Structure 1
Amino acid sequence: MGMLHYYNYPETEIFGFDEFLICQIRECAEIQPEHNNKLNEVIQKHFSGKNMVYISNRVNSYSLNPLTYVHTEKIPNLLASAMIPETKFMKKKKKNAKFERDFFDKPYEIFDNLNKAIEWAHTIVKNSN
């Protein structure tokens, strides 16, 4: 399960693997629905014709417009999203992630660590085939 691609944008880093990508949004970034254009480009380039899962590794503090999810769920080969709130501020970030779940109409789970999110991602992709 080696990393296949690395994408470095001003507001985020994206690590692409076989069945999922891990996104780490940078400190103080402001994520709006139009950021989905970049995400969709990466997904269509990296996962062309393949189902995949989005994993958000929330290690930084940033703002996110929850309406972003309304557009994210329209990405055709995106099956699900996993959130890993950073442990130092987990209580508040977990609350935010639960609120954001209401805007995403595909499987959306919150995990305490990256390993569990990756295991879940593999299961989601496997069950979709």
Structure 2
Amino acid sequence: MIKALFYEFGELNVFKNFVIAIMNEGTTVLPKHNDVLRDIADRYFENRPFGYITYRKNSYSVDPLVYIQTSQIENLIGFAVVSKEESKLANLEIEKYFLKKPLASFSSLDDAKDWINSLIESQKG
């Protein structure tokens, strides 16, 4: 891990090729929170692709407009959702309509990391 960042809405862990987000219980993720992701994209992934992994350990909600802004982060190449609980993946079909980036769900964090890394590798070659 490169850096652990803590905010009022949750924790973002920055790695070489991706960010893993763990939102706090009861949080509502709003479009204004995209400023944080844009800052991370600029600071840690300048001029290179990266992925975003949301590790849905806790119950929280997301304003779908967040995904419209997230889609505008040019070097973001994929968005992974990790949860072992089906209920935490329930909104994924709705989220897919708003996010204009590859989106996949996984029950394992390792599988999500592998997917992001494969997306990055496919861009290199």
Assess same fold via TM > 0.5: yes
Deviation at 1:98, TM superposition (A): 2.4
Q: CA RMSD in A?
A: 0.9
Percent identity between matched residues is 30
- Distance across 2 between alignment mates of 1:5 and 1:73: 23
Q: Identify the match of residue 3 of structure 2 among 5, 25, 28.
A: 5
Instruction: Supply the distance in 2 between the matched residues of 1:7 and 1:43 (Cα, whole angstroms).
Output: 13
Is 2:120 the counterpart of 1:122? no
Following superposition, which runs of at least 4 residues in structure 1 exceed 6 angstroms of deviation? none
User: Structure 1: which amino acid aligns with 2:92?
Assistant: A
Partner of 1:13, secondary structure, is strand
Structure 2: tracts of 5 or more residues without a match: none
Matched residue count: 124
Could you tell me which amino acid in structure 1 is paired with residue 106 of structure 2? F
Task: Please say if residues 59 and 88 of structure 2, whose CA atoms lie closer than 8 Å, have aligned partners that are also in contact.
Answer: no
- 2:89 aligns with 94
Where do 5+ consecutive residues of structure 1 fail to align?
A: none
Is residue 2:39 matched to residue 1:41?
yes
